[in-house]
Amino acid sequence: MFGDKEKQLVYIGSDHAGFKMKEQLHKHLQEAGFDATDLGTFTEDSCDYPDIAREVSEKVKEHEGSLGILMCGTGIGMSMAANKMRGIRAAMVTDENMAEMSRKHNNANVLCMGARISTPEMIVKMTDKFLATTFDSEERHARRVQKIDEL
């Protein structure tokens, strides 16, 4: 999908509730050829999801064109935290259609999922769909996303 010189940059993170799934997903992304960086958490010890959301969001903001993936128990806390960061459009999704549309229409740059909500199989499918889809940059979508960014 991506040539060696332009591997898609992906930053991934989770709290303790998403830790095991994050490990699995990070391995999947590396095997699929993405330039995927794991920003923690690195153990199953309890931690605070806003800290990880901030780490991943800061990297996505810093590296134009990069994408983020965040997991917590529900995906809700991660999406709330990431969406506080200017320039971050985080989408909390529970199926493949939502993952696809979040890229196509909303130009989401961070994918949030719930490790206690979605099955591992679905999480992999949603991630693959998100990463394989680009923004449908028709004027009306671009205008709406611009309005989000100006809020």
Q: Return the active site residues.
A: 72, 105
- Looking at beta carbons only, is 13 or 77 nearer to ligand RB5? 77
Residues in region 38-57 near ligand RB5 by CB under 6 A: 49
Q: Which is nearer to ligand RB5, 74 or 109 (CB)?
A: 74
**One residue of 32, 76, 124, 145 binding ligand RB5 per CB under 6 A:** 76
Distance CA 63, CA 60 (A): 5
User: Minimum Å distance from CB 114 to ligand RB5?
Assistant: 6
- Of 57, 66, 74, 127, the one binding ligand RB5 (CB under 6 A) is 74
By CB atoms closer than 10 A (0-12, 13-18, 19+), residue 104 is middle
Site for ligand RB5 in 11-40 (CB under 6 A): 15, 17
Neighbours of 13 (CB within 10 A): 30
Residue 77 makes contact with ligand RB5 by CB under 6 A: yes
Stretch that binds ligand RB5, among 21-29, 34-42, 67-75, 104-112 (CB under 6 A): 67-75
Closest alpha carbon to 40 in 60, 69, 64: 69
Nearer to ligand RB5, 50 or 133 (CB): 50
Residue identified by tokens 């997991």 is 71
Distance of alpha carbon 15 from the chain centroid: 14
Residue nearest to ligand RB5 (CB): 77
Please give the helix or strand (H or E) that residue 134 lies within, else none.
none
Binding site for ligand RB5 (CB under 6 A): 15, 17, 49, 72-74, 76-77
